[in-house]
Amino acid sequence: MTNENLVLVINCGSSSLKYEVYQMPARESMGKGLIERIGEEIGHIVQRNKNGLIDREAHIADHTAAMDLVEKSLLDSEVGILSNIEEITSVGHRVVHGGEKYAESVIIDADVIKAIEENVELAPLHNPANLMGINEITKLLPNAKQVAVFDTAFHQTMEPAAYLYGLPRELYRKYRIRRYGFHGTSHRYVASRAISLMKRSPENTNVISCHLGNGASITAIEKGRSVDTSMGFTPLEGLMMGTRCGDIDPAIIFYLLERGYNCTELLTMLNKKSGLLGLSELSNDMRDLEQAASEGNQLAADALEAYAYRIRKYIGAYAANLVKVDLLVFTGGVGQNGVLMRRRICNKLENLGIVIDYNRNVTNGSNEGIISKDFSRITILVVPTNEELQIAIDTYDILFGNRLSEIPETDVKL
């Protein structure tokens, strides 16, 4: 093992820190961990690797304390992942918003830091936390090279027709109001993986990628490039999600303002009290809603149908603009595990050449594989996402000049 082949992946949130160590170019995960409830009275860390498990609670005052805990856990004498923290010489960071400046992952320098700071106003809940992760790694590993992998970068290939809103052009020039899109790292990974599984070339393959979870988005990918995506200026636009409303008539906001709601209440409602939770008045968890619907709960059934209906609308719209579609990919917590939801979504798409095989859909479950009929013009696949691996690939590619971005071919389960 050489030091240059170890990549630490960091995903730093406002109250959490997710990390994973990869052996590259073998793409082997050596272990991963998650620290939650940073800044609260009692925090929690879980770390798993082949040597064992760390699972304990502790007060974690801030991100500096969290990074100290990461170092101690990585070097734990019994169930650690590393023997020396200096084995890590390269670090890849998930960064939510790169604005219009970055269309690919980049080595972090002063200009990149400045750009992340400039986009804080576009991602106030995420970019500050991402910056904290970068700063803490700089203190822990001052000699390590760091790479920023932006959620928004993949969607910077969209044309103006796709990213501009029908608003006065001045708002775009003055305030950068446009569609940015998110989940880009996930969409890029699963599309590349699906193309490799089907032994196709990106240059002659069009993909519709459905990242479905508590946050959900769909991306149209033409010849390996994102040409449209459902999330917009913020992650609130697009599909109905677990607690987010997705697309609504903007006049509803003003209607409710006139009736006594304030901006803070509306923002909370649209982001945290809408979607599946709001419609069902029960839960944002798909498993709870499927169970309730099977027991006759009509509100749960309505919420599930509304969720599927909006996804079908986007698939149809993207199929029209792509002209031809080769692959439909499901990923994310719901996309990978939601057997009933995948059936519900695909049930009315036969006119587009999307024909699900009900038996394959069930037997495949949450595994990687094809779930469409052999005669389906568009192949339907389940592909588990792995954003951490994509970040590790990008980091290794950029720092060591290797092109690992194409996911290697393997046999796909039928």
Residues annotated as catalytic are: 151
- Specify the amino acid at residue 30: M
As a whole number of angstroms, the distance between CA 369 and CA 386 comes to 15
The pair of structure tokens assigned to 174 is 């003055």
Q: How far is CA 351 from CA 168, 312, 376, in A?
A: 37, 12, 11
Bridge pairing between strands 52-58 and 225-229: unpaired
Closest CA to 217 of 205, 204, 202, 234: 234
Contact between 82 and 88 (Cβ < 8 Å): yes
List, in order, residues 6 or more apart from 359 with CB less than 8 Å away.
none
| Alpha helices, DSSP H, located in 8-140 | 63-74, 110-118, 127-140
Q: How many CB atoms lie within 10 A of CB 246?
A: 22
- Specify the amino acid at residue 45: I
